[in-house]
Amino acid sequence: MDQTPATLAPDAPTLPILIAPHPMLRAKARAIVPADARPVAELVPRMLATMYAAPGIGLAAPQVGVGLRLVVLDLQPEGERRPRVLLNPELIAASRESEPREEGCLSLPNQYADVVRPLAVTVRYQDLAGTRHQIQAEGLLARCLQHEIDHLDGVLFVDHLSALRRNMIMRKLAKEQRGE
């Protein structure tokens, strides 16, 4: 699969983002195999367009109803778009040092909480051409990678909170979704 700017064009139609507690958000996504090349190539531009329109800095395929281990992200340094596409990402190392930082999620709109995560991580993944890569990340990129990889395993950021805090957020989200 080619990873050219045309392939990653963000002017593609957007996809609906699933909102918790949708069951798809709790399912473990399956690994992408070579037979998935065409559907993945068609999905990536739509996921990027959806992420940018939301707006967000990361989006996992399960959030748009697709059970594949696929993540798109773009921290947009200096306001410039620099999309990354990660197929079958896996966390292979994490620092012992961690810190709390506020997180939100496109699948839990308007809900935020401090989540403790490792400061630095190493992630192995494939690009659209199937080439294997490894990235060492820290700061916001490390946090974003951990958050999106969690989605591939059916984990939401609220799962890292106390049961009391998680339940408060989920009740507030449900109330907002009902328009109360």
pTM: 0.93
Residue 170, pLDDT above cutoff 60: yes
Q: How far is CA 113 from CA 102, 160, 174, in A?
A: 5, 10, 16
Q: In 3D, which of 92, 94, 7, 81 has the Cα closest to residue 51?
A: 81
Name residue 147's amino acid: H
Which one of 42, 80, 148, 180 is the catalytic residue? 148
Domain residue ranges of the chain, discontinuous segments joined by +: 23-177
Q: List, for residues 31-68, the tens digit of each pLDDT value.
A: 999 999 999 999 999 999 999 999 999 999 999 999 99
CA atoms of 149 and 70, how far apart (whole Å) = 9
Task: Give residue 154's pLDDT band: very low, low, confident or very high (50, 70, 90).
Answer: very high
CA atoms of 111 and 153, how far apart (whole Å) = 20
Q: Which CATH superfamily is domain 23-177 in?
A: Peptide deformylase (3.90.45.10)
CA atoms of 68 and 56, how far apart (whole Å) = 20
- Sort residue 89 into left (φ over 0), alpha (ψ -120 to 50) or beta: beta
**Quick check: is 78 catalytic?**
no
Extract long-range pairs of 97-103: CB within 8 Å, 24+ residues apart: 101/143, 103/143, 103/147, 103/157
Residue 134: φ, ψ to 5°: -135, 135
